[in-house]
Structure 1
Amino acid sequence: MNKLSYFLVAATFVSSLSLAQDVKESKGFYQFLTEDPTQKPFYSDRQGVIASNGMVASAHPEASRVGVEILKMGGNAADAAVAVQFALAVVHPAAGNIGGGGFFVYRTKKGKNYTLDFREKAPLKGHKDMYLDADGNVIQGLSLSGHLASGVPGSVDGMVEVHKKFGKLAWATLLQPAIDLAEKGVVLTLKEATGLNRIKNDLKKLNTDTTYFRRPDGKDWVEGDLLVQKDLGQTLRRIQQKGRAGFYEGETAALLVAEMERGKGIISAEDLLQYHATWREPLVGNFKDYKLITMPPVSSGGVALLQLMKFVQPYPLKRWGWHSDSTIQVMIEAERRVYADRAKFLGDPDFVKVPIKELTSDEYLKNRWKDFTFNKATNSKEIDGGLIPGYESLETTHFSIVDKEGNAVSITTTLNGGYGSRVIVKGGGFLMNNEMDDFSIKPGVPNMFGLIGNEANAIAPSKRMLSSMTPTILEKNKKLYMVVGTPGGSTIITSVFQTILNVIEHGMTMQQAVNAYKFHHQWLPDKTTFENGAFTESVIKRLQEKGYILEMQRNTIGRMDCILIRPDGTLEGGSDPRGDDTSIGY
C-alpha cells in the first residue's frame, strides 16, 4: 500500500467514528501516518462511547455500571462518585480502595469549582529518618511493603465529605452496590486474575491470615472465577450504617490498629480519630481558549500541568504535527524543567510554603526556558529547581463522571504501588496503602517511581505525602468541555498533559486521545521512555542525533478514563484499552 492509499484508509477510519466534526480542525497527527505509513499512532482502534444523559469512565466495567445506575436513580455526579469509589475497592483491589486516599475535583452545573484533598497522612509516630539505618542509609523495601509502609487512610472520610456537601441520594443507597459485589462476588477479569496470582507469595509472607484473595482450592485464579470478599462486605456495612465512625472508630478501627500492632506498624487509634480530609482552593489556569481546573498541592500534578501547558503554548504544535520531532522536543524539555521544580519546591502546603503563584508565573517560566535550544537536548544535570527569591529551602486508579445536569467529577485515588503494602487488615478484608514511599525518605534518593524529593517533602507527623495525581476538568467558553485523569505514578502528569494536547492541538476524539501512544520524561533519570509505536524510526534518529536518550518501555503508559463534551452536547467517554477500563453512558 502506498502512502496516499494508507492516508485515505486512515482518513476513512476516522470519519467512520461519526466523530469527524471533532477532527476537522486539525490533521496534525496525520503527519505521523504519512512519515511512516506502516505505523499507526494508536494503541487500539477502540471507539468512544456516546451518550446524552450521563457518562461514567472508570477502571472496571462493574464500577462504571454502578455509577450509571446511580445516575439513572436520580443521583448526581457526586453521588455516582461515592458509589464508584466504594465499588472499585471491591472489584479493583490493585488500586481501588478504602485503605488509601486521593483527590476530588468537582465542577457544578453552574460553573463553581471545588477540590477535596483526602490524601493519606504520616502517622503521629512518623519521623523523617524512619526508613534509615544507624548510618543514615535507606533500608531497602521498608517504605514499600509491610505494615510500616502505610499512611493513615483518607478515602472513607473523603467520600463522607463529598456526600455531605453535594450528595442527593441516601448514603446507604450509595454503599449498597459495593456491599453486594463484595458479598455475592465479582467475576474476575484476566488482568485481575493475573494480578492476584502475581502477589500471592507477598500476601502469604506479610499476612497471618492467608485466606484473603486466595482461591478456595489453592490453585491460581483464572479469568471468570468468582471473587467473594465477606469480611470486606462487613466492613462496608459498618461504613454504610455509621458513616465516618464506621471506619475511623469502633470495630473497623480496632481491627486496623490490631493489624498494625501485629506487624510493627505505627498507625494508632489516635491517628484514625484525628484524620480529616481538607477542602482546598482549586488551582485554575488557562491554555488558549481553555480554562483548566485542577488539584493544588499536596498534589504536584496541578502545578506541573499548568507549567507544562504554559511552556508549550507559544509553539505551533498543531502545524508541526503529533509526535513530530519538534513537538516531542518541546514537550520533553518542558517536562524536564517541571519535574526538577517538583523535586525542589512541592510538598504539603500545611507544612511548607509552596510558591504556586511564582512557579506558574510567566516571568518565572520564561527564565526557566532561557537555556532551551532546538539544536540539542538539555542535560538534566544542568537543570535544577528554579530560583524563587525569598523561598526557604504503579498503582492508582482514576474515574470521570458527568451527570445529566452537567455536574462533573474527576477523581484519582490510590494505594500507591499495585495492591499497596500487600498488608490486609485481618477481619476487615481490605488492603492498606504503601504511600509512605511517596515522601522523600532521604533527600536525593528516588522513590519507587524514580522521583527525586527534597526537604519540602520530608516525613513529619500528620503530614501528607506529595502526589503526582492530576484529576482535571476543562472548560471552553465557560462551558464544561473535558474531564481527564489517569493512574500511572510519575507518568500521570505527562499522560494527562499529552491527552489534553491530543484533543486540543491534534484534533483527536476523546477515545483517540486515550488510545494514542504516549511517552514520558521526569528530569531524572535523564531519559525519555516511550511506548512501542509512539515514535517513528526517523523521529528517533533525529532526536538521538540531538543527544536525547530514548528508551522503549515494555509496559504501557497510563490508564486514562476521560469524558469529552462534543459540539452537539453529547458526551464521549474514552476509557483506556490498556486495562479493563470501561465507559458506560445512557
Structure 2
Amino acid sequence: MITMILSGYSRKIKNAGIYFSALILLLQACARPQVNSRGTIAENGMVVSAHPEASRVGVEILKAGGNAIDAAIAVQFALAVVLPAAGNIGGGGFLVLRQSNGAVASLDFRETAPARATRDMYLDPQGNVIPNLSIQGHLAAGVPGTVDGMVKAHQKYGSLPWEKLVQPAVDLAIKGVVLTEKEANGLNYSQSLFRQFNDSTSAFIRHTAWKAGDLWVQPDLGQTLMRIRDQGRAGFYEGETARLILAEMAEGKGFISAEDLRSYEAKWREPVKGSYKGYRVISMGPPSSGGIALLQLLHMVEPFPLHKYGWNKTKTVHLLTEAERRVYADRSEYLGDPDFYKVPAAKLLNPQYLAVRMQNFNPKKATPSASIKHGNLTAREHEETTHFSVVDKAGNAVAVTTTLNGGYGNFVVVDGAGFLLNNEMDDFSAKPGVPNMFGLVGSAANAIAPGKRMLSSMTPTILEKDGKLFMVVGTPGGSTIITSVFQTILNVLEHNMGMQEAVSAKRVHSQWLPDEIRYEKDALSGKVLKRLHQLGHKTTETNSIGRVDAILVLPNGKLEGGADPRGNDTAMGY
C-alpha cells in the first residue's frame, strides 16, 4: 500500500525536496495509531456526550425542531440520571455558545462557596489541611449552579417549551436506565463511601453487586426532576427540593443555607477569544482557567513546526511539556473568580509576555519545574467531569462542560431528592501552595470566600475557520482537561487527523507540579521515552487521560462526531 502511494507521489511531484517532505509526512502518519474510519457523520445535527441515552435524548430534541441550546439542556438533565458520577443537578459548569450568525456567548453556572464558608475552614488548629474534609461529606459541597444555568440558557436562547426538555430525564429516572459495565463498576467501587454518608434507602446503595444490564430506577430523582420540569428554577432552589437540601445540610453539619440557594445566580460572561494559525478560538474565561490557559499554550507553540516534529514524537512532547509548565505556573498565581479578584487576562495573553515566558525554553534540555515560577506581569501593562458538544441544523454550536468535581462528588445523596452533591470546595486553595485532589497548586487569588466561585480547569471550546464553524470540543479530566483539549486541537490542525482519530489518539499530560510527564499506555514509544529521559524529563505511565467529545465540520459541510472510546461516549446525528 505504501509503495503504491509513493509511486503516485513520484509521478506528481518532481521536485526532490518536496518529494522528501511528502515522504516524511507519510511515514509519520503511518507511525501513529490509525482509526479505520471517520467517526459518526451527519448532515443536520450532531450530539456527542458521555452516554448513549443522553446523546439519543439530544438528537430527538434536534429532530423535534429544537436548537442547540434546547438539546444541550435536555442532555444536561439526562446525564444527571444516566451518568451519576459526573452528570448532575447538584453541581455546576460552563457553557460556550456560537450562533450560526457568528455571535458568541458563555454562561458560568459554576458553584459558589456558602455564606458561612471561611478561608481556613479546612485547616486544623496548627494550620494544616485536614485530609478529605474538602473532598468527602457535607462540608465539601458548594451551592449548586446547574439548574439555574439551564434555566437562564433557556430563557435567553431556548425555542422549545421547558417541560419538553426536562421530560426525557424524568422518564429515564422513573422508568429506569440500563447500566453499562463502566457505570455498574463505578457504583460497586463506591459502595463503602455511599454507605458512609447515606442511609440504606438511597438508590445508590445495594446489598448485591450491580452488573451491566441491570435496570436502575431512581424514583426520588424522578420526583425532583418533575418539580424542576413544572416549576423551573423554583423547583430546585425553593419549595420541597430546597427543604430536602437544607435537611441534608442539617443532618451532616453542612453549610449551605436557604439564602445561599435563593441568591445563587448563573452569570453570562464574555468568552475569551484568540487565534492559532488563522483559526479563531473561543473558550471559557474565569472563573475557569481553561480558556486562558488553552490560548496561552496555543500561542506558545504556534511558532514551532509541530507538523514536522510529528505526533507524540520527542520534540513535540518536549515542547508541549515546557509550555505547559509555564502556563500551569501562571494558573496557580493569577487565576480566580473575577468577581473577587482582578484576573489579568489581557496581560496573560499578551504575545510579548508569552514570548518572554518561552525565552528560556531549551530544545535540548528539560527545565526543572522547581526553577519555573509564574511570570512577572508588573513590567507590562482549574475527576470527574463530563463534556458534551452539540451542533444543530442551522449551525448553532454549544460546548458544555459540567461537573461534581470528583467522581460522584462528595458521595452525599440528598435524602428524598435522589441527587448527589458536589465536592467543588476542593477546587479552592484550602491553603496557598498545598495541592488539591488533582495536584493543582493555588494562591490567594483562589482562596475561599463566601459567595466566591472556585477556580476550574473546564475548557469548553469552539473553533472557527474563515468565519465559519469548524470544531466544538471539550473533555472531563480535572487538571488534564486543558492539555487534552490542547492536544485534540493540535491533532487536527497540525497532525491532519479526523475528529474521531484526534479524540481516540493516546495523550500525554504535564502541569508544572508534580514535575513529570504522565502518558497513557502506548502513547510514547520506547525510543521517545528514552530520549525524554536523556533531556531530563521524568515520566509516569497512567490510566486514561480525558474523555473528549467533539464535533468537526468537514469540507463538504457535514458533521463528524468524535466520541471518546475511553468511556461509554456516543456520537449521534441525523
Task: Report the TM-score when normalising by structure 2.
Answer: 0.95
Check if 1:327 corresponds to 2:327: no
CA distance in 2, matches of 1:254, 1:338: 43
CA distance in 2, matches of 1:569, 1:379: 45
User: 1:26, CA displacement in angstroms?
Assistant: 11
2:28: which partner in 1? 31
Check if 1:551 corresponds to 2:533: no
CA distance in 1, matches of 2:367, 2:4: 36
Check if 1:158 corresponds to 2:155: no
Q: 1:179 aligns with which of 153, 170, 178?
A: 170
Q: 1:76 aligns with which of 67, 71, 76?
A: 67
**Structure 2 residue matching 1:502: 3-state secondary structure:** helix
2:41: which partner in 1? 50
Check if 1:436 corresponds to 2:428: no
Q: What is the identity, as a one-letter code, of the residue corresponding to 1:264?
A: K
User: 1:63, CA displacement in angstroms?
Assistant: 0.1
- Whether the aligned pair in 1 keeps the contact of 2:98 and 2:396 (CA below 8 Å) is yes
User: 1:359, CA displacement in angstroms?
Assistant: 0.3
CA distance in 1, matches of 2:71, 2:313: 40
Give deviations 1:507-528, integer Å, cap 9, x for gaps.
Answer: 0000000010000000000000
1:121: which partner in 2? 112
1:566: which partner in 2? 554
Check if 1:410 corresponds to 2:410: no
**Structure 2 residue matching 1:64: 3-state secondary structure:** helix
CA distance in 2, matches of 1:268, 1:122: 11
User: 1:222, CA displacement in angstroms?
Assistant: 0.4
CA distance in 2, matches of 1:490, 1:6: 44
Q: What is the identity, as a one-letter code, of the residue corresponding to 1:135?
A: Q
CA distance in 1, matches of 2:23, 2:424: 41
Q: 1:375 aligns with which of 364, 373, 382?
A: 364
User: 1:289, CA displacement in angstroms?
Assistant: 1.2
- Whether the aligned pair in 2 keeps the contact of 1:439 and 1:458 (CA below 8 Å) is yes
Check if 1:302 corresponds to 2:291: yes
2:86: which partner in 1? 95
- CA 1:7–1:25 in structure 2 vs 1: closer, same or farther (change >3 Å)? closer
Give deviations 1:489-542, integer Å, cap 9, x for gaps.
Answer: 000000000000000110000000001000000000000000011111111111
Q: What is the identity, as a one-letter code, of the residue corresponding to 1:181?
A: L
- CA 1:492–1:70 in structure 2 vs 1: closer, same or farther (change >3 Å)? same
User: 1:30, CA displacement in angstroms?
Assistant: 4.3
Give deviations 1:273-325, integer Å, cap 9, x for gaps.
Answer: 01000100111100011000000000000000000000010001111211121
**Structure 1 residue matching 2:244: 3-state secondary structure:** helix
User: 1:28, CA displacement in angstroms?
Assistant: 4.6
**Structure 1 residue matching 2:167: 3-state secondary structure:** helix
- Whether the aligned pair in 2 keeps the contact of 1:46 and 1:577 (CA below 8 Å) is no
CA distance in 1, matches of 2:243, 2:524: 53
Q: What is the identity, as a one-letter code, of the residue corresponding to 1:578?
A: R
Check if 1:384 corresponds to 2:373: yes
- Whether the aligned pair in 2 keeps the contact of 1:28 and 1:506 (CA below 8 Å) is no
User: 1:33, CA displacement in angstroms?
Assistant: 4.3
CA distance in 2, matches of 1:45, 1:139: 49
CA distance in 2, matches of 1:84, 1:192: 17
Give deviations 1:200-235, integer Å, cap 9, x for gaps.
Answer: 1101111134432234xx210000000000000000
User: 1:374, CA displacement in angstroms?
Assistant: 1.1
**Structure 2 residue matching 1:415: 3-state secondary structure:** strand
Check if 1:133 corresponds to 2:124: yes
1:583: which partner in 2? 571
Give deviations 1:429-472, integer Å, cap 9, x for gaps.
Answer: 00000000000000110000000011000000000000000000
1:535: which partner in 2? 524
**Structure 2 residue matching 1:197: 3-state secondary structure:** helix
2:9: which partner in 1? none
CA distance in 2, matches of 1:583, 1:25: 33
Equivalent positions of 1:172-571 (< 5 A) are: 172-215=163-206, 218-389=207-378, 394-553=383-542, 555-571=543-559
Q: What is the identity, as a one-letter code, of the residue corresponding to 2:376?
A: L
CA distance in 2, matches of 1:206, 1:558: 28
- CA 1:487–1:25 in structure 2 vs 1: closer, same or farther (change >3 Å)? farther
- Whether the aligned pair in 2 keeps the contact of 1:118 and 1:155 (CA below 8 Å) is yes
Q: What is the identity, as a one-letter code, of the residue corresponding to 1:563?
A: I
- CA 1:524–1:503 in structure 2 vs 1: closer, same or farther (change >3 Å)? same
- Whether the aligned pair in 2 keeps the contact of 1:29 and 1:506 (CA below 8 Å) is no
- Whether the aligned pair in 2 keeps the contact of 1:46 and 1:515 (CA below 8 Å) is no
Structure 2 gap ranges (5+): 7-20
- Whether the aligned pair in 2 keeps the contact of 1:106 and 1:113 (CA below 8 Å) is yes
**Structure 1 residue matching 2:405: 3-state secondary structure:** coil
**Structure 1 residue matching 2:100: 3-state secondary structure:** coil
- CA 1:25–1:259 in structure 2 vs 1: closer, same or farther (change >3 Å)? farther
- CA 1:391–1:277 in structure 2 vs 1: closer, same or farther (change >3 Å)? farther
- CA 1:7–1:41 in structure 2 vs 1: closer, same or farther (change >3 Å)? farther
User: 1:32, CA displacement in angstroms?
Assistant: 6.7
Q: What is the identity, as a one-letter code, of the residue corresponding to 1:470?
A: T
- CA 1:27–1:107 in structure 2 vs 1: closer, same or farther (change >3 Å)? farther
**Structure 2 residue matching 1:202: 3-state secondary structure:** helix
CA distance in 2, matches of 1:171, 1:26: 55
1:37: which partner in 2? none
- Whether the aligned pair in 2 keeps the contact of 1:563 and 1:573 (CA below 8 Å) is yes
- Which is further off, 317-326 or 73-82? 317-326
% same residue: 62
CA distance in 1, matches of 2:325, 2:307: 22
- CA 1:148–1:6 in structure 2 vs 1: closer, same or farther (change >3 Å)? farther
Give deviations 1:548-581, integer Å, cap 9, x for gaps.
Answer: 111111x101101000000000000000000000
1:14: which partner in 2? none
Q: What is the identity, as a one-letter code, of the residue corresponding to 2:28?
A: Q
Q: What is the identity, as a one-letter code, of the residue corresponding to 1:138?
A: V
- CA 1:150–1:249 in structure 2 vs 1: closer, same or farther (change >3 Å)? same
- Whether the aligned pair in 2 keeps the contact of 1:28 and 1:322 (CA below 8 Å) is no
- CA 1:6–1:518 in structure 2 vs 1: closer, same or farther (change >3 Å)? farther
User: 1:46, CA displacement in angstroms?
Assistant: 6.9
CA distance in 2, matches of 1:363, 1:584: 43
CA distance in 2, matches of 1:77, 1:26: 42
User: 1:41, CA displacement in angstroms?
Assistant: 2.7
**Structure 2 residue matching 1:399: 3-state secondary structure:** strand
- Whether the aligned pair in 2 keeps the contact of 1:120 and 1:152 (CA below 8 Å) is yes
Task: Report the TM-score when normalising by structure 1.
Answer: 0.93
1:17: which partner in 2? none
User: 1:272, CA displacement in angstroms?
Assistant: 0.2
- CA 1:176–1:141 in structure 2 vs 1: closer, same or farther (change >3 Å)? same
- Whether the aligned pair in 2 keeps the contact of 1:32 and 1:324 (CA below 8 Å) is no
- Whether the aligned pair in 2 keeps the contact of 1:123 and 1:152 (CA below 8 Å) is yes
